[in-house]
Amino acid sequence: MKLILNKMKSAIGHPIAYILNSGNEAILMNDYLQKKIEIDWTGNIFCSKCSKKTKRSFGEGFCYPCFMSAPEASPCILKPELCQAHLGIGRDIEFEEKHHNKPHIVYLAATDKVKVGVTRNTQVPTRWIDQGANKAIILAETPNRYLAGVTEVALKSFYSDKTNWRSMLRNIEDESIDLIDEKWNCHDLLPQDLQQYFVENDDILELNYPVNKFPEKITSINLEKQASISGTLTGIKGQYLMFDEQYVFNVRRHTSFEIELRTNG
């Protein structure tokens, strides 16, 4: 079947369910585990915002004009402390009000180390799944994206805000991490004006991914360098498909790429 890639949707379960949308059809990728899959890039890329054909993809599937103007590609997507939605300022005020001037969560997630991150409250636990976290806990809830970003910045000197994707895919986990202890340590690290947003609920969500065996060595596949992928699907974690317990393909990285998807088993 032919489809234009977008990030996989997910649903909590044991394991997590991954869905790839193709027009009106939803493909449950878990059903493809242990089956031979072939992905062929047609050479086409269609902007995720305006749908126009583009030679290159910028950000998450934008043509260059949309990357420079679309609210979905605003600088505060990557740096929430730059958000000005609470001031009524942004590339698209309606979009900012709907998505950024809303309650946001600051969280701690754990794999091989503790990571601090930000997401809209409606994106929990989707954001944690997309990043391939093994477990996560809510640290604070703020009334807007800007304050969540400021809270994250206050903790960046003590915690990373990046996921080590290679360690995540190899499932390298520090079992000594106590997220509750880390969370309450953060309370003491926060400036006093931000402590009011601290959430006392200490529930930890543990996430289980559909992976038969985690790879020991990883080779990442980029369709612009290798237009065809063929192998047995052996796992899914984060936004990555794993093939033959070695090769990994970042679906989200290839947003807007048109592909042919085939399965032989």
Question: 116 exposed, middle or buried (CB, 10 Å; 0-12, 13-18, 19+)?
Answer: buried
Question: Do residue 150 and residue 223 come from a single domain?
Answer: no
Question: Do residue 215 and residue 193 come from a single domain?
Answer: no
Question: Do residue 102 and residue 129 come from a single domain?
Answer: yes
Question: Do residue 95 and residue 144 come from a single domain?
Answer: yes
Residue 139: which pLDDT band, with cuts at 50, 70 and 90? very high
Share the mean pLDDT of the chain.
95
For residue 186, what is the enclosing H or E element? helix 179-189
77 and 60 in contact (C-beta within 8 Å)? no
Please give the residue range of the domain that contains residue 13. 2-46+211-263
pLDDT at 24 over 80: no
Q: Note whether residue 141 is domain-resident.
A: yes
pLDDT of residue 265: 60
Using the 3D structure, point to which of 185, 205, 225 is the last residue of a domain. 205
Question: Do residue 33 and residue 120 come from a single domain?
Answer: no
The DSSP line for 49-85 is TT--B-SS-BTTTB-HHHHHH-GGG-GGGT-GGG--G
pLDDT at 9 over 80: yes
Nearest to 117 by CA among 81, 161, 84, 79: 161
Question: Do residue 112 and residue 162 come from a single domain?
Answer: yes
Q: Note whether residue 158 is domain-resident.
A: yes
Question: Do residue 178 and residue 228 come from a single domain?
Answer: no
Question: Do residue 149 and residue 238 come from a single domain?
Answer: no
128 and 134 in contact (C-beta within 8 Å)? no
What would the pLDDT profile of 52-65 be if each residue is shown by its tens digit? 999 999 999 999 99
Q: Note whether residue 232 is domain-resident.
A: yes
Using the 3D structure, point to which of 205, 224, 241 is the last residue of a domain. 205
Per-position b or e across 43-71, b if 16+ CB within 10 A of its CB = eebbbbbeeeebeebbbbbbbeebbeebb
CA distances from residue 154 to 59, 118, 186, 195 in whole angstroms, order as listed: 26, 12, 9, 11
Mean pLDDT of 27-43: 96
Q: Note whether residue 218 is domain-resident.
A: yes
pLDDT of residue 1: 86
Q: Which residues on neighbouring strands pair with residue 115, listed in sequence order?
A: 109, 160
Q: Note whether residue 216 is domain-resident.
A: yes
**Least confident stretch, 22-31, 125-134, 184-193, 248-257:** 22-31
The count of domains in the chain is 2
Mean pLDDT of 195-215: 96
Question: Do residue 91 and residue 196 come from a single domain?
Answer: yes
Question: Do residue 102 and residue 200 come from a single domain?
Answer: yes
pLDDT of residue 264: 77
What pTM does this model have?
A: 0.94
pLDDT at 185 over 70: yes
Strands 240-243 and 247-250, sheet pairing: antiparallel
| Terminal-to-terminal C-alpha distance of the chain | 15
For residue 151, what is the enclosing H or E element? helix 145-155
Question: Do residue 182 and residue 98 come from a single domain?
Answer: yes
Which two three-digit tokens encode residue 38? 């072939």
Question: Do residue 246 and residue 190 come from a single domain?
Answer: no
What would the pLDDT profile of 211-257 be if each residue is shown by its tens digit? 999 998 999 999 999 999 999 999 999 999 999 999 999 999 999 99
Q: Note whether residue 63 is domain-resident.
A: no
Backbone angles phi, psi at 172, to 5 degrees: -75, 115
Q: Note whether residue 35 is domain-resident.
A: yes
Q: Note whether residue 234 is domain-resident.
A: yes
For residue 98, what is the enclosing H or E element? helix 93-99
Mean pLDDT of 7-27: 91
